[in-house]
Amino acid sequence: MELRAKPRADAARVLLAWLVLGVVAWRAAAGASEAWGELASRPARQHVRAFTTRPEVLVARQLGADVGILLALRAHAAGARELRLSFVPRPDALRALKRRTAMLSGYLYPTALLAWPHDPRARAAGGTPAPGREGFVLDLDSGRDYSRWPGCEVLAEGPDWKLLRLRPGSG
């Protein structure tokens, strides 16, 4: 019995091993074809873009319209340690905001982006400006009223942003 069972087990093993090899061959063919298809379908210029495009252009492409913010910061606030980010903390827009600012902060470092949320309802209820605010502010359409900071200066602006400087003692 045992003698008969062993060849049977070995035969089953051999069959299994061939089946396994069949799956591997199928997947290898599929993998090679997918890889070739993906590589061959791209225009040649994409394969050499790294050599033909300056790094600033690649960064600008990632940032899209926000590249204006990066350029404004480099022109007006280069070397600043901190930049306050004024925004309205709307739950529905928070994810997009997080993504946008994460990308920006990656290129801005070592300038640190510090959240300075603005809640218009709290403001209307009679909130007073935080004392001692100074330095650079990136305002993302927050609607914050900067007239409370008399020395405030707008350094640059884009479609939905403003780069401002709050002067010491103006808060």
| Interacting residues toward other proteins by CB under 8 A | 13-14, 16-18, 20-21, 23-28, 30-32, 34-36, 39, 42, 46-51, 53, 55, 58-59, 61-63, 98-99, 102-103, 105-107, 109-110, 112-115
CB-wise, 9 or 122, nearer to other proteins? 9
Question: Across the strands, what pairs with 92?
Answer: none
CB-wise, 70 or 152, nearer to other proteins? 70
CB-wise, 39 or 154, nearer to other proteins? 39
Considering the complex, what minimum distance in angstroms separates the CB of residue 17 from other proteins?
4
Is residue 123 a contact partner of residue 148, using CB atoms and an 8 Å limit? no
CB-wise, 30 or 154, nearer to other proteins? 30
Considering the complex, what minimum distance in angstroms separates the CB of residue 16 from other proteins?
6
- Over its C-alpha atoms, the chain yields an Rg (Å, rounded) of 29
Q: Which helix (H) or strand (E) holds 166?
A: strand 162-166
What pairing do the DSSP bridges indicate for beta strands 82-87 and 153-157? unpaired
Considering the complex, what minimum distance in angstroms separates the CB of residue 169 from other proteins?
26
Helices (H), the chain: 2-41, 44-47, 49-52, 55-63, 67-76, 94-108, 120-124
Cα distance between residue 137 and residue 72, in whole Å = 12
Considering the complex, what minimum distance in angstroms separates the CB of residue 24 from other proteins?
5
